[in-house]
């Protein structure tokens, strides 16, 4: 940010001089990240890396960015869509890719229609099904019974232990 300062008002003429503004001094060590984005990453750091960031100036390590997912940002305290986009763009500038959720901004019925279309085209992936089921469970949709959705999600996320065959 640049602050304009008028100098030399003699004779009705004015010249302008620009000087850097120090309002965002807290973002200087971490590039273009806002203070809110840094605080979000500080809150997520112990969960993802097991390390507690220091108070004051801090530069998020690349290890933290590699472990970060859009789901972490979506559920983090004080992390709205703008802050999430800022963190994702900043990570991209540092060479780390954080995949955005597939169905952002779509209603649940649009998500299921999209899945049906991709399935009929033979392009449906396990990740798409998993994400749609997670969204459906979060929204407590009863179109597909919630218990069945949970079972499908467990099977797809590989945490499901099938019962032994008789």
Cβ neighbours of residue 45 closer than 8 Å, sequence gap 6 or more: 51, 52, 53, 60, 64
Segment 73-95 shows an average pLDDT of 88
Higher-pLDDT residue of 23, 162: 162
| 5 pLDDT above the threshold of 70 | no
pLDDT of residue 78: 85
Domain definitions of the chain by residue range? 25-93, 108-156
d(CA 166, CA 152): 22
Most confident range, picked from 13-17, 37-41, 98-102, 135-139: 37-41
Q: Quick: pLDDT tens for 145-154.
A: 677 777 778 7
């Amino acid at each position: 940010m640049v602050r304009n300062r008028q100098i030399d008002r003699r004779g009705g003429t004015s010249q302008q001089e620009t000087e850097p503004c120090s309002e965002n001094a807290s973002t200087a060590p971490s590039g273009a990240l806002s203070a809110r984005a840094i605080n979000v990453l500080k809150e997520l750091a112990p969960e993802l890396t097991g390390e507690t960031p220091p108070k004051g100036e801090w530069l998020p390590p690349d290890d933290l960015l590699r472990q970060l997912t859009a789901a972490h940002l979506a559920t983090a305290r004080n992390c709205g869509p703008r802050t999430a986009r800022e963190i994702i763009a900043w990570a991209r500038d540092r060479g780390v890719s954080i995949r955005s959720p597939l169905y952002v901004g779509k209603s649940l019925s649009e998500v299921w229609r999209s899945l049906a279309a991709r399935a009929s085209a033979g392009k449906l992936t396990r990740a798409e099904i998993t994400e749609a089921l997670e969204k459906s469970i979060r929204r407590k949709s009863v179109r597909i019974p919630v218990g069945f959705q949970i079972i499908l999600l467990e099977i797809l996320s590989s945490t499901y232990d099938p019962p032994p065959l008789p």
